[in-house]
Amino acid sequence: MNGILRIAFKLLVNDRGKFTALLVGITFAVFLMVMMTSMFAGILSRSSSTVTNIGAKMWVLDPAVNNVSSSIPVPDYVKDAVRSIDGVRYAVPLYSGGAQVKLANGIYQAVTVIGLDDASLFGRPELIEGEIEDIYAENGFVVVQDAEISKLGNPRIGTKFEINDHRGVVVGIAKANISGLFGIPTLYTTFNRAISYLPSTRFTASYILVEPKSTSDIPHIKQAVSKLGYQALTDDEFVQKISNFYKYQTGLGINVMLMTAISFIVGLSISGQTFYTFILENLEKFGALKAIGAKGHELVSMILFQAGFTAFLGYGLGVGLASLIIMSAKLRMPDYAAQITNLNLGIAFVMVLIIAGISSYIGIRRVIRIEPFDIFRG
Q: List interacting residues with other proteins (CB under 8 A).
A: 1, 3-4, 6-7, 10-11, 14-15, 284-285, 287-296, 298, 371-373, 375-378
Least distance from other proteins to the Cβ atom of residue 365, Å: 17
Q: For residues 90 and 276, which CB has a smaller minimum distance to other proteins in the complex?
A: 276
Least distance from other proteins to the Cβ atom of residue 275, Å: 16
Cα separation, 110 vs 317, in Å, equals 41
Least distance from other proteins to the Cβ atom of residue 302, Å: 11
Least distance from other proteins to the Cβ atom of residue 27, Å: 22
Q: For residues 15 and 76, which CB has a smaller minimum distance to other proteins in the complex?
A: 15
Q: For residues 10 and 175, which CB has a smaller minimum distance to other proteins in the complex?
A: 10
Residue 66 region, left (φ>0) first, then alpha (ψ -120 to 50), else beta? Answer: alpha
Least distance from other proteins to the Cβ atom of residue 291, Å: 6
Cα separation, 64 vs 245, in Å, equals 11
Q: For residues 106 and 293, which CB has a smaller minimum distance to other proteins in the complex?
A: 293
Q: For residues 87 and 372, which CB has a smaller minimum distance to other proteins in the complex?
A: 372
Q: For residues 242 and 289, which CB has a smaller minimum distance to other proteins in the complex?
A: 289
Least distance from other proteins to the Cβ atom of residue 297, Å: 8
Q: For residues 2 and 120, which CB has a smaller minimum distance to other proteins in the complex?
A: 2
Least distance from other proteins to the Cβ atom of residue 292, Å: 6
Q: For residues 1 and 64, which CB has a smaller minimum distance to other proteins in the complex?
A: 1
Secondary structure in 3-state letters for the chain: CCHHHHHHHHHHHCCHHHHHHHHHHHHHHHHHHHHHHHHHHHHHHHHCHHHHHHCCCEEEECCCCCCCCCCCCECHHHHHHHHCCCCEEEEEEEEEEEEEEECCCCCEEEEEEEEECCCCCCCCCCEEECCHHHHHCCCEEEEEECCCHHHHCCCCCCCEEEECCEEEEEEEEEECCCCCCCCCCEEEEEHHHHHHHCCCCCCCECEEEEEECCHHHHHHHHHHHHHCCCEEEEHHHHHHHHHHHHHHCCHHHHHHHHHHHHHHHHHHHHHHHHHHHHHHHCHHHHHHHHHHCCCHHHHHHHHHHHHHHHHHHHHHHHHHHHHHHHHHHHHHCCCCCCCCCHHHHHHHHHHHHHHHHHHHHHHHHHHHCCCHHHHHHC
Residue type, 234: T
Q: For residues 1 and 331, which CB has a smaller minimum distance to other proteins in the complex?
A: 1
Least distance from other proteins to the Cβ atom of residue 7, Å: 6
Least distance from other proteins to the Cβ atom of residue 270, Å: 22
Q: For residues 262 and 288, which CB has a smaller minimum distance to other proteins in the complex?
A: 288
Least distance from other proteins to the Cβ atom of residue 10, Å: 6
